[in-house]
Chain A
């Protein structure tokens, strides 16, 4: 390598090192592991052995606890997010797939995909508070920023179930397009965005009236419409932009939230499902199930900067504030 190049790469490393470094956790569904990445170097630093078929993954206790849905073990595992040591199992009901923590940090709402219920778990006591009956194959879970409303989507019933968290009872059921996978509230809590994998759309629902406000539709030149299968949705803190993972279309759509129109498509790895921002929202990590990697998107430049090999069938991703 010529000296000039050496110098340039040295500059690059230096600037990368100055960005805030966060810890990225990726659940690998077929490997029974979680890959740990450093967000600044964008490299895998460690692989943690976890329970069977890890899918949903989140953080609790201000990021100190790493929670993993070990679907085939019918449990939620708790790990120390800093030391990666196993702490305890939480009861989860059968086949936990995705979950969400109440904004106050407790309880945890778990979608039990095989059992048509949402299980409410107190993470401190390690006990089940209650079970809420929902439609067939519950999956997507979103909670309003003020914590009053929980939305669960059921994949075969094709509904977004609105649940009042005070009473843990369903208050409404909104039909959406086929196979709803994910629910994401806008930061102001006024809307909830629900992705429909087979329908190929994202429904935008008014939270107060539970009436549909519109749908985000997708069209990509050269990609068969049937391959456009929206799953993960993330909305920026300023409520302006949404990022939607489009499954086997191998792209993440960048959507203008007010107009519900797609601004751009970013090519990532194969069968992209879930997404997570770094806490500073400078980077977005995507899990690419069939290419066994994660893509890193520069959120400001809307550019895919790197893909990083992880385990087999990466499913979920969460990023700690340290």
Chain B
């Protein structure tokens, strides 16, 4: 725990104890060594800077020790992508440099980012709170800056609150919920018992699940709210309490095929599997989850990608690492295709119909032109293995089956 404090990321401690996050602005500059073999490279490679921006949060500890986020979550994905970009860039005389800033204070991040953009940074990859995405986007409006939202799944950022200078590489909540709903429909598990937590993000995911149920022909037979109180925590009660409480909580529900849970902060969802009154599978934020990445995905060249990540980060790849990797690689891919290091060229290519990214998901990934969201297949997975990949067979679309996930063009409220 002392290490966590030193890094300014108080994550956990003794149960119930909360700390106010320290204001730390850690600046990490990662300069990558160059291979000396740049053939036909220009004498002085032109550098493209990418700034990784993270807002540290005072989060309650997750239920499982296995789920404590690593201190370099997201950043490790950026580092790997920079290495990948540079391995390509050396053949074209392009160099990529990663800088990183983090703080618990949104205003500090905004002013630091503005300063950096003034100094020539153009590409920002964000793992910040949704309101901070908007603050940054508005502060940089009209400037030579493009923001990639990797960390915030909020629908509003892609809809009413969308901004012309923001692209989204992480999936939205509606994409995740739709991906799960398609799989549950494919399984004919159409009667859902929805359990949601009380935090705003839980309510948002529950809303996305309701929308998905309607879209894909599922019925929510009952909804219950799980209130997380002291007395139900592992440190207080241990398994005896949980074993008693969860069956009681899930008793007397109408006939259902599956328990669907919305608990993004991992406060109770992990207590549900194997403890419900009726023997039913659990899906949603715990149990069977929709996710942009899984550390055991081996298809589509994933093995090499996972190996490369493990060697570079000394751990397995998490969804945020992947979403950040996509953003940094997107910049690299655009620079490669345009053979240019100029912001205008790269930004134009990212927004063009020619842009496509290979992301180890078996098909090209492209940005939706109506709200800047990256289209991508969503994995449906248990903690150990991917179970399936959505979109599921049979869910058709006139343009791209990937647009069966999330808010589609005719429904969007985004106006740039």
Contacts and interface: CB of A to CB of B under 8 A. Distances in A.
Interface of A: 95, 113-114, 116, 133, 135-137, 154-159, 161, 169-173, 175, 178-179, 198-200, 224, 226-227, 229, 248
Q: Which 5 A-B pairs have the closest CB atoms?
A: A157-B88, A226-B363, A178-B358, A173-B91, A198-B358
Contact of A136 (B37, B84, B311): B84
Nearest to B356: A178
Nearest to B86: A136
Nearest to A71: B303
Interface of B: 35, 37, 39-40, 84, 87-88, 91-92, 301, 304, 307-308, 311, 333, 336-337, 356-358, 362-364, 400-401
A248 B307 contact: no
Given A158-B336, A171-B39, A136 B301 contact: no
8 contacts: A114-B304, A133-B35, A156-B88, A159-B88, A172-B40, A198-B362, A229-B362, A248-B362
Contact of B88 (A113, A158, A170, A178): A158
Nearest to B39: A170
A300 to B, nearest CB: 34
Nearest to A196: B358
A175 B364 contact: no
Nearest to A224: B401
Contacts of A113: 304
A137 B304 contact: yes
A155 B301 CA distance: 9
Nearest to A198: B358
Given A158-B336, A199-B364, A178 B304 contact: no
Given A114-B308, A157-B87, A175 B336 contact: yes
A125 B120 CA distance: 53
A114 B84 CA distance: 12
A136 B80 CA distance: 11
B301 A175 contact: no
Contact of A135 (B88, B301, B307, B400): B88
A224 B392 CA distance: 13
Contact of B37 (A133, A155, A158, A159): A133
Nearest to A162: B39
A248 B361 CA distance: 13
A8 to B, nearest CB: 40
Given A156-B358, A178-B357, 7 more contacts: A135-B88, A136-B84, A155-B301, A161-B91, A170-B37, A172-B40, A198-B362
Contacts of A224: 401
Given A137-B304, A170-B39, A175-B337, A226 B87 contact: no
Contacts of B358: 155-156, 158, 178-179, 198
A116 B87 contact: yes
Nearest to B89: A157
A137 B363 contact: no
Given A133-B37, A137-B304, A170-B39, A198 B336 contact: no
Nearest to A181: B301
A198 B84 contact: no
A159 B91 contact: yes
Contact of B87 (A136, A171, A248): A136
B40 to A, nearest CB: 7
A135 B363 contact: no
Contacts of A175: 336-337
Contacts of B304: 95, 113-114, 137
B362 A156 contact: no
Contacts of A133: 35, 37
A135 B356 contact: no
Contacts of B87: 116, 135-136, 156-157
A154 B308 CA distance: 15
Given A173-B39, A178-B364, A199-B364, A95 B84 contact: no
